[in-house]
Amino acid sequence: METSAHWGTYLVEVSSDGRDIVAAHTDDPDAAPAIGNVVDAHRHRSRVARPSVRRGWLENGPGPDDSRGTSEYVEVGWDTALDLLARELARVRSTFGNQAIFGGSYGWGSAGRLHHAQSQLHRFLNTIGGYTRSVNDYSRGASMVLLPHLIGAPATLDLRYKPTSWADIADHTDLLVSFGGVRRSNTWVVPGGHARHVGSGLARAAARTTRVVSLSARHDSFADLDAEWVPVMPATDTAVMLALIHVLVTDDLADDDFLATHTVGADEVRRYVLGAVDGVPKTPEWASRISRTPAEVIRSLAHRMAAGRTLVNVVYSLQRGERGEQAIFAGLTLAAFLGQIGLPGGGFAHGFGSMGDYGVGVAGARLPTFPQGVNPVPDYIPCARISDLLLRPGEEIPYNGGHLRLPSTRLAYWAGGNPFHHHQDLRRLRQALSTLDTFVVHETHWTPTARHADVVLPVASTLERDDVAVGAGDTRLRASPRAVTPFGEAREELWIYTQLASRLGADFADGLDSRQWLERLYEEWRAAPGSPPAPPFAEFWREGGVSLPQEPYRDTVFAAFRSDPAAHPLATPSGRLELFSSTLAGFGLPDVGGHAEWREPTQWWGSPLAEEFDLHLLCNQPSHRLHSQLDMGAASQSTKVAGREPLRLSPADAATRDLTDGDVALVRSAQGSLLAGVVVTDALLPGVAQMHTGAWFDPSAPEIADCVNGNVNVLTRDVGTSTLTQATSGAHVLVAVTRYDGPVPPVRAYEPPRLVRPDPPDG
């Protein structure tokens, strides 16, 4: 039976009684290893079997409680759980208003178009009067705020959904210069999944005609690209980009005609890189002292970039750090000085090596979408500021040139996501969650987030419900039928919200069950203008899917703008690329100016903090799971070292610390500590360490470390990238690494909490 996830479409084999998944495999030649997690996870001991209520909340009532995360749970019936939750939602709404409810769910829980956890939660909360929401995302939070100021909102969308394609790179690009590498494992992930992975195959084809240069602290481009590695210390890419611009200017390689006709602010940038503003010319020698990239390599690269068609790519991870938006600003400015923006295969890209659908070259059909309704509550936060929301009620934070007031939050409702993976500084997050009156979580497994909740409702997994799946630029809209019966007493979320809404006097599902909703979504999509020819739902379901058109996109904002900037201006104040933004300068922010610039972050190897924490830890996405999903599965567990998440070190750094492959290390930052298994590799710059995100948080031996399973977010800082964007800064952090020779505690992250059932009534 075929089913779909964000990491691909695959086949499952089911036991004869229809209860168990006995095998999972795929005929995709570039399949994601994460498929190997499915069998173990389906009926793992960490599955949530029944509605569960934290004993302290059940006995003492709602209120702040710093014992969240350590309590036992009482398993109750569905009616009891729903009655308790409905009563609490009614109390919070009537006493404090709907803005006191935070609708969480930074949702990667399901690739389905109906059972999309975030959409269903938001629709439910909207039906009962609204909620405080979050905006932007952890992947591109800084970019989403910055880029509309520089290129306008339509071009920002084009940069995500209509970028230079891999086909254009193969046909036109001489040099692809990628800041942050081009990771193969990231091409396995597409929101909604793809029928077959195509991104890495397209990249391999492009590599036959295009030279790839990867600038990163880690040799992080997959082998088929045969990329040239230019080492750059983390958080210093902006300095290298400014030095490249300096060479273009001083060696008369900049495209002055393009700058004069298509940009504003080029003169300000020239003055800055030449040192007229601060007395510091941004020469390759200057950048080399900051980045440790040899000056002659920077100078040579600038000449190579100017000699042919060049595409400048900046991966998502570079903007996930303090001052992170500066790398995007500088990358766009560098591309503008080369003068190739809007040309096939040239210009600026922001996503190659970050997402599997990036650059597939297909505009894509309109997709079925579960309607969320309208939220009447105006309050919102940038998604990475959840701890600020809970710890600083009533305060204001700067954001995008203005200020946001943080409402007082009494109840948080989370579904389809795990903030213990996405969010930073887990000590602070735990403190923030302790301030809530009530924390509600929908989950398939006892994740760290579920173990901090007051009410945990077991939900059916993707394999336990019917859905349809499709990703942007996909070849096929796919039926994803239920493969097995739900585990324990798990229910579909649509049923849960229907029952809750009914108790609160609201209508969530329009009287439809999930099968009827599937048919409605499909038929509305099929009938909508612009949708491709498609059969009626019954035939679609019987056939397992319908093919989608693969028309290459042609009408891009950048191409039209390049051909005639007066007739096709960008949606910026000047109508041009804003290399100096008067709007940004007018905000008067202490950490973001009108043009790209180098400002020393606190987390880089040259900072005073590095005297104690002398390694720069890169925290990037895992290869054998999606985020933290199914970390207990065989594929994810196959990557563990000494039973926990691996820490990668260069041979020099390992030798200095008397560490070898398989040892256990204690990793400390100013925020916390963890245990990790050691891997020694020559794919890292000395002074740099690397760990994947997503190991399940395990605080079971706090006398040894804050997490003994290697969750990097006990180390990372919960500070915004800047006062402009307020995005996550969790991609890297300064750490100290030492050999750990004490007793190694067992990993308890995948064990459920203590569960009890209420005593039966007397008589």
Residues involved in catalysis = 106, 108
Cβ pair 243, 251 in contact under 8 A: no
Structure tokens at 611: 């005297």
Cβ pair 391, 435 in contact under 8 A: yes
- Local structure of 185: helix, strand or coil: helix
Tell me the sheet residues that pair with 231.
Answer: 216
Give the N- to C-terminal CA distance of the chain in Å, as an integer.
49
- The residue whose two tokens read 């970390």 is 631
The pairs formed by 299-305 with CB atoms below 8 angstroms and a separation of 24 or more are 299/247, 301/177, 301/213, 301/230, 301/244, 302/243, 302/244, 302/247, 302/248, 302/251, 302/253, 303/247, 303/251, 303/253, 304/175, 304/213, 305/175, 305/177, 305/244, 305/248, 305/338
Cβ pair 188, 360 in contact under 8 A: no
Cα–Cα distance measured from residue 377 to residue 415, given in angstroms and rounded to the nearest whole number: 20
Buried b (16+ CB within 10 A) or exposed e, 346-378: bbbbbbbbbbbbbbbbbbbbebbebebeebebe
Task: Kindly state the greatest CA–CA separation across the chain.
Answer: 93
Question: How many Cβ atoms are within 10 Å of 124's Cβ, its own excluded?
Answer: 27
Element (H, E) at 35: none
Cα–Cα distance measured from residue 324 to residue 327, given in angstroms and rounded to the nearest whole number: 6
**Torsional sign, CA 227, 229, 234, 237:** negative
- The residue whose two tokens read 């002055």 is 256
What residue ranges in 198-309 does DSSP mark as E strands?
A: 211-216, 228-231, 263-264
Cα–Cα distance measured from residue 196 to residue 188, given in angstroms and rounded to the nearest whole number: 10
Buried b (16+ CB within 10 A) or exposed e, 217-238: bbbbbbeebebebbbbbbbbbb
- The residue whose two tokens read 């000449």 is 303
Give, in degrees to the nearest 5, the angle at Cα 514 between 513 and 519.
100
Question: For the sheet containing 21-25, what is the strand order?
Answer: 2-5, 8-14, 21-25
Cβ pair 124, 116 in contact under 8 A: no
- The residue whose two tokens read 């720069």 is 616
522 backbone dihedrals φ, ψ, rounded to 5°: -65, -50
Q: Going by DSSP bridges, is the β-strand pair 646-649/688-692 parallel, antiparallel, or unpaired?
A: antiparallel
Cβ pair 73, 665 in contact under 8 A: no
Burial of 648 (0-12, 13-18, 19+ CB in 10 A): buried
Cα–Cα distance measured from residue 673 to residue 714, given in angstroms and rounded to the nearest whole number: 6
Cα–Cα distance measured from residue 242 to residue 235, given in angstroms and rounded to the nearest whole number: 13
What residue ranges in 541-661 does DSSP mark as E strands?
A: 545-547, 577-578, 615-620, 646-649
- Local structure of 418: helix, strand or coil: coil
